[in-house]
Chains A and B, each alone.
Chain A
């Protein structure tokens, strides 16, 4: 009979060979497959990352400006209501600012008593209007591509780093949930003037290092000096992209501040409760051999 140790060694070797060896053989077979893979977006230093992270109100206000002046020309944001811009944990504009902002937009309403649809000034309870009547109208106006809705985009673009690194993204201290915002920054700054040699772009396509197929219909949206910030922040494409990515993250996860604050309290109470229960259990069982 084999000893337990040698059995264990044999087993470990077997599983190691299966899990590492077989895919390695396959990688040799198909080296071309990875050439098209977009690289993992580099990380940014986000105020809302980590255990104590929270949104930077001024950054969200700047990000909103970028969203409003640039993105929202083509993209929708169906779940963003004007009133949200005054919510705690967000850009937190004043109620009056939000009211004035909403009134600048025309909202389709109706039907009125005559049965007609009509336009009226927006109210804080209205949702962010879109420049297009429907998806098809947006496609036609954008070279056949549908600009995706931005409401939860920052959560829909999370890029996983793959096994085994992604495991660490769950662990306290190194947990990371901001891949979507990183992707947006990388995409904004990932445009190249020309496609690399051997690649052909059709029609309205542009080359972007971080877009999954690299061929993206959206033209480079942000350039240095394009938007005038009132608060003196640098007016560079990099800054714009980080600000708008933070804003999109807030739009996708508007309760993040409340979530982390509540979570901190919940964990605090749970640690105390678990400690007390454990001490109680220890004492109760102290007279039982077990």
Chain B
């Protein structure tokens, strides 16, 4: 293949250099127009929320807003914990132990967005007394795991930490 290639002339080199410089300049100029749509500095700075959980009675679910989405904080009863822990993993569409989804068994913290198409499931509803999504009928159990319906995954668990026994920081 090399036999046919003529020596590039100085004219070709000039055209190639000009074209390349124009391409590089255009490429660099495009970046700010794309990057501007990423979260801005003030949004990034607001990425954590603190919540006092001391006042949440057993059996109740509290919804807090974090990064524009609801987070369910559920103070689980003994019965709910037992149900969640005793389910054989083989029965689960998205197998995960309850222990892997909580930091303390009484407290379940999940992002309240159905993994199907983003609706917000209703608490204390459905056959497993977990959550039921009104949009397309996905059913979650008391560990927020998908049990029936079209959703592909369990409810996501956000990053969170217990600051004290009664205070958590999400994000």
* A117: Cβ under 8 A from any B Cβ: no
Contact residues of A between 243 and 290, Cβ < 8 Å to B: 269-270, 272-273, 276-277, 279-280, 283
B14 near A276: Cβ-Cβ < 8 Å: yes
B14/A125 in contact, CB under 8 A: no
In this complex, how many residues of chain A approach chain B with their Cβ under 8 Å: the count is 14
For chains A and B in complex, what number of residue pairs have CB atoms within 8 angstroms?
A: 32
Contact B28 A81 (CB under 8 A): no
C-alpha gap A125/B40 in the complex (Å) = 12
B25–A270 CB distance below 8 A:
yes
Closest partner residue, chain B, to A126 (CB atom)? B45
Known: A280-B14, A280-B15. A269 touches B25 (CB 8 A): yes
Instruction: Kindly state whether residue A83 has any CB partner on chain B within 8 Å.
Output: yes
Closest Cβ–Cβ distance, residue B88 to chain A (whole Å): 40
Q: Please, how many angstroms separate the alpha-carbon atoms of A162 and B45 in the complex?
A: 43
**Cβ–Cβ contact A276 & B42, under 8 A:** no
Contact of A269 among B14, B24, B42 (CB under 8 A): B24
State A276–B17 Cα separation when bound (angstroms): 7
Q: Report A175-190 residues with CB < 8 Å from chain B CB.
A: none
How many angstroms from the CA of A81 to the CA of B41 in the assembled complex?
Answer: 10
Residues of B41-57 contacting chain A, CB below 8 A: 41-42, 45-46
Query: In the bound complex, what is the Cα–Cα distance between A273 and B17 (angstroms)?
Result: 9
Contact across chains for A269 and B15 when beta carbons are under 8 A apart: no
Tell me which residues across on chain A come within 8 A of B42, comparing CB atoms: 81, 125
User: Which chain A residues lie closer than 8 Å to B2 at the CB level?
Assistant: none
Neighbouring A residues of B18 by C-beta, 8 Å: 273, 276-277, 279-280
* Residues of chain A contacted by B41 (CB below 8 angstroms): 83, 87
Question: Given the complex of chains A and B, what is the CA–CA distance between A125 and B49 in angstroms?
Answer: 11
Q: Does B37 belong to the interface (CB within 8 Å)?
A: no
Cα of A138 to Cα of B42 in the assembled complex, Å: 27
| Between-chain CB contacts (< 8 Å), 17 pairs | A81-B45, A87-B41, A125-B42, A125-B45, A125-B46, A269-B25, A273-B21, A273-B22, A276-B14, A276-B17, A276-B18, A277-B22, A279-B18, A280-B14, A280-B18, A283-B11, A283-B14
Give me the interface of B with A, judged by CB distance under 8 Å: 11, 14-15, 17-18, 21-22, 24-25, 28, 41-42, 45-46
Question: Which residues of chain A have a CB within 8 Å of any CB of chain B?
Answer: 81, 83, 87, 124-125, 269-270, 272-273, 276-277, 279-280, 283
Excluding A273-B18, A273-B21, 7 further A-B contacts by CB distance (< 8 Å) are A83-B45, A124-B45, A125-B42, A125-B45, A273-B25, A276-B14, A276-B21
